[in-house]
Amino acid sequence: MKQPKGFEDNDHPHYVCKLKKSIYGLKQSPRQWFQTLSTHLQSIGFVAGKADTSLFIRRKDDVQLYMVIYVDDILLTGNSPEMITNTLDKLKSKFDMKHLGFANSFLGIQITRTKNSFFLSQTKYAQQILNTAGMTKCKHLANPSQTKQPDVLSSTALESDPKLYRHLVGALQYLTLTRPDISFAVNSLCQQMHHPMPPNFNSLHRLLRYISGTLTYGLPISQGSTILQSFFDADWAGDKDTRRSTSGYCTFLGNTLISWSVKKQHTVARSSIEAEYRALAAALTDIIWLRRLLLDFNISITSPTTLHCDSTSAIALANNPVFHSRTKHIEIDHHFIRDHIDMKTVNIFPISTKDQVADIFTKHLSMPRYQFL
Contacts of 291 (CB under 8 A, 6+ apart): 228, 301, 305, 345
Which residue, 362, 235, 254, is CA-closest to 306?
A: 254
The average confidence (pLDDT) of the chain is: 89
* Measured CA angle at 252 (ends 251, 258), to 5 deg: 75
DSSP string, 98-148: ----S-SEETTEEEEE-SSEEEEE-HHHHHHHHHHHT-TTPPP-S-SS-SS
In tens, the pLDDT along 19-38 reads 777 766 777 888 888 999 99
Extents of the domains making up the chain = 29-101, 121-213, 225-372
Q: What does the alpha-carbon distance between residue 368 and residue 196 come to, in Å, rounded to a whole number?
A: 29
* pLDDT for res 157: 59
Lowest mean per-residue pLDDT among 1-5, 250-254, 272-276: 1-5
* pLDDT for res 323: 57
Which element (helix H / strand E) includes 69?
A: strand 63-70
CATH of domain 225-372: 3.30.420.10
Q: What does the alpha-carbon distance between residue 314 and residue 276 come to, in Å, rounded to a whole number?
A: 6
Banded model confidence at residue 325, pLDDT cuts 50, 70, 90? low
* pLDDT for res 281: 92
pTM of the model: 0.86
Strand positions, DSSP E, 277-369? 305-309, 346-350
- Confirm or reject CATH 3.30.310 for domain 29-101, answering yes or no: yes
Percent of the chain exceeding pLDDT 70 equals 94
